[in-house]
Chain A
Amino acid sequence: MNGSMTVAMDLGLALLAMLPEHLLLMGAVLLLGLDIAGKGARLALSVAIAFVAAGAIAAVVMGAQGISGEVFPGLLAVSPSVLLAKGVLLGLAVPVLLMSRDDFEGGEFPALVLLSLCGISLLLSAESLLISFLGLELMSIPVYALIVLGYRRPESAEASLKYLVLGGTGTAMFLMGVALLFDATGSMALDTFAAAMASPDLVSRAAVVLILLAFFIKAAIVPFHAWAPDAYETASLAVTAYMATIIKGGVLLAIARIIGPAPITSPMVELLVLFPLVSIVWGNLTAMRQGSFRRMIAYSSIAHAGYLFYAMLGDGAGRFAAMVFYVLVYGVVNVLAFAALPAAHEDRDRDQLEQLEGLYHRQPFAALVIGVAMLSLAGLPPFPGFVAKFLIFKNVLAAGYGTYAVLGLVGSYVGIYFYLRVIQLMFMSRPAQAHGADFTIHPNPRPPLTTSGFAHSAAVLCLMATLLLAVLPGWVLAHL
């Protein structure tokens, strides 16, 4: 039969269409090679950044070119919107990698990130739940290791285990859902899920619920969120940034892909509103009490996952684009905040909010940048977070869910306070007097975690992106 012929022809296409994935894999392999050769330390980061950036550019260019098609029929497909989404996520990885310079040496971190990114790419391109599963795992497994990788804090192993157990449970739930779906329909194609969502049949519904909830776990939606604060807090800054932005974005865009553009009906729609709504309120409330910056961002990201799920309510056509835009904005400002965080001796101190007290008087640029990031996360105009939030709630309202929109907005109001608290600490408090003495008192000198030029360049990169998004949101939106 001519099956082999098709495969051969497809191979050429696949190489092209999956260029980002290939670039990532090549990068990962190269890094491993370098590592084995013992030359990793110097080159690793540059290589990784080069490959990720190339992947991002490739994705964006191909997306802009409008390339689409079934690479592997029934398994993998590319479309402009997915390619752009990949481009966004890979692009976000560039500053994250830049930041990592302060925490990591060697090739492990970049290699793991590249593999994980590869998983995300697969996840986004998947046309079958089979591939989704693989992508999901390929995305997650390196992250379990990444959390402990810096091992600046002994608790990180605990956090990693928690993430692993809950993540594994999530995987099992996903699989259970797939199994039930497969049992009911005999297919693992993505559109069976969309069909099942509207199906009256209880097994289908149970399957849908299981799969959805698996994504809730991965995206840290209340009450499946509990791993996130622990993991975010103890992971190194770059890893936290990676989890909070890229993993989260990838997961959410993936579930958006799985759900597809069809309108969502009751009872699933309530699931997609109530859990996120609780997340918004819960995350925003709990964030108020946190003393650790990363933990606060974790709760903030729980709330933001809520907003992103809200986007599912929107009109089918614009849904995915809105989410990509949101992920882009949210990712950029989050990375911005992390990249600008000042240095400290101990990782634990580094993200204590008290550490930020009077930051403006020590590092005005960092304070201003973090301020911009906080306000943007809070969704206050004129920062890009506002446009993103506006977009989502506009879509929700347009889809006729007025009450939910208002509730979501009110929930988001609760969040303003803790973002402002950061600003308040940075600008309105005098720096603690101990700071000058800090350097002398500390007897046990771990090398101070400096913020190097790399982190700065990451911050500048993100700041430029933030400004672009603030000034020309229309232009960006038009191209998504």
Chain B
Amino acid sequence: MDEAALLNLMLWLPVVGIALIPVAVRLAPARGGAVTRPLTLAVMLLQLLLAGWLTARFAVDTDGLQFATRIPWIAAWGVSYHVALDGFNILLVLMTAFLGPLVVASAFRRIQKDVPLFYAMVLLVQFATMGTLLAQDLFVFYVFWEAMLIPMFLLIGIWGGERRIYATVKFLLYTAFGSILMLAALIALVFTLSTTAGITSFAFTDLYATRLPLNLQLLLLSGFALSFAIKVPMVPFHTWLPDAHVEAPTAGSVLLAGVMLKMGTYGFMKLGFPLFPDATQQLTPLLTTLAVIGIVYGACLALVQQDIKKIIAYSSISHLGYVMLGLLSLDLIGIQGAIIQMVSHGLVAGGLFLMVGMLYDRYHSRDLNMYGGLAKLLPVYAVGFLIFTLASVGLPTTSGFTGEFMVLLGAFRAGWTQHVAGSSYALWLAAIAVLGVVLGALYMLRLALHLLFGPVRVPNTDGGHGTVTVPVRDLDWAERSILGALVLAIFALGLFPDRALRMTEPAAKAYRALIQTSRLPLGDGLVGAVR
């Protein structure tokens, strides 16, 4: 079977799963659709298998799309169903596929309400994110991009915590606002392409060749950037994230942190910046500033939270600031670092959210004040939590280090180059970002300290204070294997990132080249005259 077909199979597998769910529930109606659990897990594992196979077949150090499928969809507008793997998305695809089974498995015991719908929604999120990553056509991209929202809306809204409605509506309205502006920018972009170059096409490759005057580029970039920035989220568009994370069920948090936030940075990398190189150059100082503010601001806020999930949520803001910093550095090391950091954050934050979920399953509280000394009570849990904490802090040998180190090195190199050229602004920003490393240690270790160490202290089952009365089991084998898989991945990416870097390097180079090549209209604004 050729790889393109396998790629499509991988993408559409969750849809098949969703279609099978009602059938399975009908066939085995016992216990409210318990049958959907193994079914979904099987689908996810199969998807992971396919993703792994495709990764293995992926030609490294090769530029361009691989395993592409292109079928005209809305021919009149030049829209094609166009999906492919490339250096930009390969790692994120793999990570998404990797997180899928873990999310599903982690929810086995936790989710007892509306089980079939839950797994259907998880599969939908999976499908939509995969589609967003694989899409090579702007229209298709947008469709998948938006399709992510609704299942996530439901995941938070149905299976979330107390203030879930507020959180989920906030999440949706925030992101939808960005999407609307992106839609406007998208239409304008395609229209401009068709008038200047005479092609009506949504294909990225065609759009990458669009020449636009600077002011238009700025306008359109703002549209795209706002949408992506909300998703990332960059300060000051971030306030939906802590709420969404706190209220979401564990699986939702993991999907949100692990997969969905990456779509924002991926969008910047794949679309936002390369489509509008001149505007990007123009806005780089501003965006870099926002990224660094995000690093510091997110860290500071994480420092003063009492809700464990909020701490991790704010840490996400901080960590994704690094991604933005790396992408904007336009230094190859920085870009590569940003890609690694994306994956790393997915693994680490995903792992942390899973662990918080496991804790919540046991004690029904996320209040840091309620806890203490878990290392004594749940030693295996503590070890796991510590590993994720340290990975989040960016300790060497973990993936967090690989990402942060390369991002910071890249940002610094870029800053120094500009410093030599006469402007030290970027250099200072890079230096501040390096200091963010300290803040990262501050809040994560605060979390670990209060959670794991000190005298034993856990909430009663009713959420109040008190000494332990009921012995609580440590992680069971299922939880251990879920976390173990993540830990292995974290160390793999920390110790042996080169294989991953080989796959993404052509894309990183292409990205840099796209942004460094001006695409202002040729001549005196007579756009498209020279073709």
A residues neighboring B (CB under 8 Å): 360-361, 364, 375, 380-382, 386-387, 390, 393-394, 397-398, 402, 405-406, 409-410, 412-413, 416-417, 420, 423-424, 427-428, 473-474, 477-478
Bound CA–CA A427/B113 (angstroms): 11
Q: Is B169 touching A409 in the complex (CB atoms < 8 A)?
A: no
Name which residue of chain B comes closest to A400, CB basis: B191
Name which residue of chain B comes closest to A399, CB basis: B191
Q: Report the minimum CB–CB distance from A475 to chain B (whole Å).
A: 9
Q: Report the minimum CB–CB distance from B436 to chain A (whole Å).
A: 34
Could you list some 16 contacts between A and B, CB below 8 A? A381-B144, A382-B144, A390-B183, A393-B183, A397-B184, A405-B184, A409-B184, A413-B176, A416-B173, A423-B154, A424-B165, A427-B157, A428-B168, A474-B73, A474-B77, A478-B76
Q: Is A412 touching B74 in the complex (CB atoms < 8 A)?
A: no
7 tightest CB-CB pairs across the interface, nearest first? A474-B74, A381-B143, A381-B146, A428-B157, A413-B180, A382-B143, A397-B187
Contacts of A474 on B, CB cut-off 8 Å? 72-77, 79
Bound CA–CA A427/B154 (angstroms): 8
Bound CA–CA A413/B157 (angstroms): 20
Assess whether B58 is interfacial by the CB under 8 Å rule: no
Other A-B pairs, 10, CB within 8 Å; known A397-B188, A428-B164: A380-B150, A380-B176, A382-B146, A393-B183, A394-B187, A394-B191, A409-B184, A413-B180, A427-B154, A474-B73
Q: Report the minimum CB–CB distance from A285 to chain B (whole Å).
A: 14
Name which residue of chain A comes closest to B121, CB basis: A427
Q: Is A382 touching B147 in the complex (CB atoms < 8 A)?
A: yes
Contacts of A473 on B, CB cut-off 8 Å? 73-74
Q: Is A393 touching B146 in the complex (CB atoms < 8 A)?
A: no
Q: Report the minimum CB–CB distance from A67 to chain B (whole Å).
A: 23
Chain A, interface SS category: helix
Contacts of B177 on A, CB cut-off 8 Å? 413
Please provide the chain B residues from 163 to 215 with a CB less than 8 Å away from any CB of chain A in the complex.
164-165, 168-169, 172-173, 176-177, 180-181, 183-184, 187-188, 190-191, 194
Contact of B187 among A360, A375, A393 (CB under 8 A): A393
Assess whether B149 is interfacial by the CB under 8 Å rule: yes
A394-B191, A416-B173, A417-B169 given as contacts; is B143 within 8 A of A386 (CB)?
yes
Q: Report the minimum CB–CB distance from B71 to chain A (whole Å).
A: 10
Assess whether B114 is interfacial by the CB under 8 Å rule: yes
Q: Is B184 touching A424 in the complex (CB atoms < 8 A)?
A: no
Bound CA–CA A413/B181 (angstroms): 10
Q: Is B150 touching A375 in the complex (CB atoms < 8 A)?
A: yes
Assess whether B46 is interfacial by the CB under 8 Å rule: no
Q: Is A427 touching B77 in the complex (CB atoms < 8 A)?
A: no
Q: Is A477 touching B76 in the complex (CB atoms < 8 A)?
A: yes
Q: Is B180 touching A386 in the complex (CB atoms < 8 A)?
A: no
Bound CA–CA A398/B188 (angstroms): 8
A409-B184, A412-B180, A428-B164 given as contacts; is B146 within 8 A of A420 (CB)?
no
Q: Is B146 touching A380 in the complex (CB atoms < 8 A)?
A: yes
Q: Report the minimum CB–CB distance from A395 to chain B (whole Å).
A: 9
Q: Is B73 touching A381 in the complex (CB atoms < 8 A)?
A: no
Contacts of A360 on B, CB cut-off 8 Å? 114, 117
Contacts of A428 on B, CB cut-off 8 Å? 154, 157-158, 164-165, 168
Contact code string B239-266 (vs A, CB < 8 Å = 1, else 0): 0000000000000000000000000000
Contacts of A477 on B, CB cut-off 8 Å? 74, 76
A380-B150, A390-B187, A424-B157 given as contacts; is B176 within 8 A of A416 (CB)?
yes
A394-B191, A423-B154, A474-B79 given as contacts; is B147 within 8 A of A381 (CB)?
yes
Contacts of B363 on A, CB cut-off 8 Å? none
Q: Report the minimum CB–CB distance from A339 to chain B (whole Å).
A: 20
Q: Is A406 touching B73 in the complex (CB atoms < 8 A)?
A: no
Q: Is B188 touching A417 in the complex (CB atoms < 8 A)?
A: no
Contacts of A420 on B, CB cut-off 8 Å? 153, 169, 172
Q: Is B180 touching A410 in the complex (CB atoms < 8 A)?
A: yes
Name which residue of chain B comes closest to A410, CB basis: B180
Contact code string B503-526 (vs A, CB < 8 Å = 1, else 0): 000000000000000000000000
Q: Report the minimum CB–CB distance from B496 to chain A (whole Å).
A: 38
A381-B142, A402-B188, A474-B79 given as contacts; is B172 within 8 A of A416 (CB)?
yes
Contacts of A393 on B, CB cut-off 8 Å? 183-184, 187
Q: Is B169 touching A424 in the complex (CB atoms < 8 A)?
A: yes
Bound CA–CA A285/B165 (angstroms): 19
Q: Is A405 touching B72 in the complex (CB atoms < 8 A)?
A: no
Contacts of B144 on A, CB cut-off 8 Å? 381-382
Contacts of B169 on A, CB cut-off 8 Å? 417, 420, 424
Contacts of B149 on A, CB cut-off 8 Å? 380
Bound CA–CA A375/B165 (angstroms): 17
Contacts of A402 on B, CB cut-off 8 Å? 188
Contacts of B191 on A, CB cut-off 8 Å? 394, 397-398
Q: Report the minimum CB–CB distance from B56 to chain A (whole Å).
A: 31
Contact code string B395-417 (vs A, CB < 8 Å = 1, else 0): 00000000000000000000000
Contacts of B77 on A, CB cut-off 8 Å? 394, 474
Q: Report the minimum CB–CB distance from B386 to chain A (whole Å).
A: 36
Contacts of A423 on B, CB cut-off 8 Å? 153-154
Contact code string B273-309 (vs A, CB < 8 Å = 1, else 0): 0000000000000000000000000000000000000
Contacts of B74 on A, CB cut-off 8 Å? 387, 473-474, 477
Contact of B184 among A381, A387, A406 (CB under 8 A): A406
Q: Report the minimum CB–CB distance from A305 to chain B (whole Å).
A: 20
Name which residue of chain A comes closest to B143, CB basis: A381
Contacts of B76 on A, CB cut-off 8 Å? 474, 477-478
Contacts of B142 on A, CB cut-off 8 Å? 381
Q: Report the minimum CB–CB distance from B80 to chain A (whole Å).
A: 9
Q: Report the minimum CB–CB distance from B224 to chain A (whole Å).
A: 14
Q: Report the minimum CB–CB distance from B177 to chain A (whole Å).
A: 6
Q: Is B75 touching A478 in the complex (CB atoms < 8 A)?
A: yes
Name which residue of chain B comes closest to A321, CB basis: B76
Name which residue of chain B comes closest to A378, CB basis: B176
Q: Report the minimum CB–CB distance from B278 to chain A (whole Å).
A: 20
Name which residue of chain B comes closest to A361, CB basis: B114
Bound CA–CA A386/B186 (angstroms): 14
Contact code string B62-79 (vs A, CB < 8 Å = 1, else 0): 000000000011111101
Contacts of B164 on A, CB cut-off 8 Å? 428
Bound CA–CA A111/B146 (angstroms): 43
Bound CA–CA A364/B158 (angstroms): 14
Contacts of B188 on A, CB cut-off 8 Å? 397, 402
Interface centre among B76, B144, B173 (most CB of A within 10 A): B76
Name which residue of chain B comes closest to A473, CB basis: B74
Bound CA–CA A393/B77 (angstroms): 13
Contacts of B73 on A, CB cut-off 8 Å? 473-474
Contacts of A413 on B, CB cut-off 8 Å? 176-177, 180
Bound CA–CA A99/B114 (angstroms): 30
Contacts of B173 on A, CB cut-off 8 Å? 416-417
Bound CA–CA A375/B77 (angstroms): 23
Q: Report the minimum CB–CB distance from B12 to chain A (whole Å).
A: 12
Contact of B183 among A361, A409, A427, A478 (CB under 8 A): A409
Contacts of A417 on B, CB cut-off 8 Å? 169, 173
Bound CA–CA A357/B184 (angstroms): 34
Q: Report the minimum CB–CB distance from B393 to chain A (whole Å).
A: 37
Contacts of B114 on A, CB cut-off 8 Å? 360-361
Bound CA–CA A427/B120 (angstroms): 14
Bound CA–CA A473/B72 (angstroms): 11
Bound CA–CA A101/B188 (angstroms): 46
Q: Report the minimum CB–CB distance from B338 to chain A (whole Å).
A: 28
Bound CA–CA A398/B168 (angstroms): 35
Bound CA–CA A417/B74 (angstroms): 29
Name which residue of chain B comes closest to A421, CB basis: B169
Bound CA–CA A477/B169 (angstroms): 33
Name which residue of chain B comes closest to A372, CB basis: B150
Q: Report the minimum CB–CB distance from A420 to chain B (whole Å).
A: 6
Contacts of B190 on A, CB cut-off 8 Å? 394
Bound CA–CA A416/B149 (angstroms): 12
Q: Report the minimum CB–CB distance from B223 to chain A (whole Å).
A: 9
Please provide the chain B residues from 64 to 123 with a CB less than 8 Å away from any CB of chain A in the complex.
72-77, 79, 114, 117
